[in-house]
Amino acid sequence: MTQVHKQIESLLFIAGKPLSAKRIAEILNVKQDEVKQAAEELVAWYAEQDRGILVMSSHETYQMATTSDAAKLITEFIKSEQSGDLTKPSLETLTIIAYRGPVSKMELEQIRGVNCSLILRNLLIKGLIEAEFDRKQKQTVYTITLPFLEFLGLRSRDELPQYKELSSDERLQTLLQNQMKETTPDHHDQQQS
């Protein structure tokens, strides 16, 4: 398996939704034909294996999914995940998204200080948050859903307790900006080196 195969497999796993060959090529900074060939090879490889997951393709769009053999198990799991109680870390993450959203995974992890991948996936499964690709920021951002507000009996997130004060807290904004500067190389510095 080449590096491109591994990168495509990783993207499809984490995306949780279909990705076009064009989009994958943009992310990996490789030619679209190279992505199509590698992705089709992944489709064939997973089809040959007796595994619980597969790679699906349709019109040069690819997605990782579970096999039909696991349908009953997956349905029961999702049902239990949707109805289960939220953990303290899930509540913390949901609160940050409610007050600071749209917010990226990186910003969430800077605020919480831990990896939020599984928590985000669970909140998405429960329908409490939604993910959208922000073309300006070139990353996925998360916001709360209308069913979440409906569950709380609110018409908009402006009705959340102390929303105005907490959503625009200058100390938190300054902290996030400083951390972003520390973790993101300055293009100006890169050009001089």
* 137: DSSP letter: T
At 75-85, the pLDDT tens digits run 787 666 666 67
Q: What is the CATH number of domain 81-181?
A: 1.10.10.10
At the second CATH level, the architecture of 3-67 is Orthogonal Bundle (1.10)
Share of the chain above pLDDT 70, in %: 83
Instruction: Please state the pTM of the whole predicted model.
Output: 0.51
- Interstrand relation of 53-58 and 103-104 (parallel, antiparallel or unpaired): unpaired
Q: Strand pairing partners for 57? A: 62
Average pLDDT, the chain: 82
Q: 3-67 with 81-181: one CATH topology?
A: yes
Residue 98 to residue 102: CA distance in whole angstroms = 8
Question: Which residue type, as a one-letter code, is found at position 97?
Answer: I
Structure tokens at 128: 């409490």
Domain spans of the chain, in order of start: 3-67, 81-181
